[in-house]
Structure 1
Amino acid sequence: MAFLRQAVLLVALIGACWAHPDGAPASACATMNPEHKDSKHEEAGPSTPYTLVQDKREFKAGDTVAVTLSGPPFKGFFIKAFDDKNKEVGQFEAGGESKPVTECSGVTHTSAAEKTAVKVLWKAPAGAQGQVHFRATVVVTYHKYISGLQSTVA
């Protein structure tokens, strides 16, 4: 019986290590997908219950754009910023429920606590102007995530 308890504890600890409860690692920059074992993946579509809304599309050097991800309870997220040529642009500011992923123009969660909305702030780079849009992956649970969520303008 003691062996069984130890085995269950070991499996739980391994799962917690794989889950990235404090945010996506830099390796997620390329695919925007969590590295959770045995996760069910869904591509965002018209029936996706999550929204990603930015307060403006046009930017100039130093501007800040507010981006809000909301919907039913979710555990984590990864959001990236792209210019009108689909190249990564700018950086996100650190916030209470978010931290920038400095290896790319991304931002991720700081804890796996359930949330129904998170607001992040994106900062335009110096000497740049144009249009920005955002793409997100939402981690609903450890075993389910939705990718390819595109932003709209409020």
Structure 2
Amino acid sequence: MSDNIRIDVTTDDFDLGEETRRLTDGDTAVGAVCSFVGLVRDFSDKPDVKGLYLEHYPAMTEKSLTKIAKEAFQRWDLNGVRVIHRVGELWAGDQIVLVVTASAHRGDAFAACEFIMDYLKVQAPFWKKELTAEGEHWVEAKESDQVRAGEWSSEPE
């Protein structure tokens, strides 16, 4: 397994291009990079979402994200993984999460990126509060996220 795993939980915004360059810099064995950027939407189960407030348990969150990235390295042939998850107050249109995977081949990069994002949604300890015109409310975990993560329970072919 590579040591090329970088995890950050931060209030700061990120730049996809810069993070991709940092992940692949000097690694000429990389033939594929896959990325996912999640944005804060202005809707959910409630109308008129203005933003989100995300809380986390710092020591546990980084450990959980690192464990997910290491599992991706065990499942696929990866050269690197970069995960950034923002916390604090975020507004509609803001970037909230970044997952970048690098590999020699696109199949590994795509699968690992999707796996990390699916597991992050259900295993990383984040608590989300929606900020709406009608007030604030905590967001419940979605069953559909649990189902998606459960689809990864078997080893890849």
The normalised TM-score by structure 2 is 0.30
The structure with the greater share of residues assigned to helix is 2
The normalised TM-score by structure 1 is 0.31
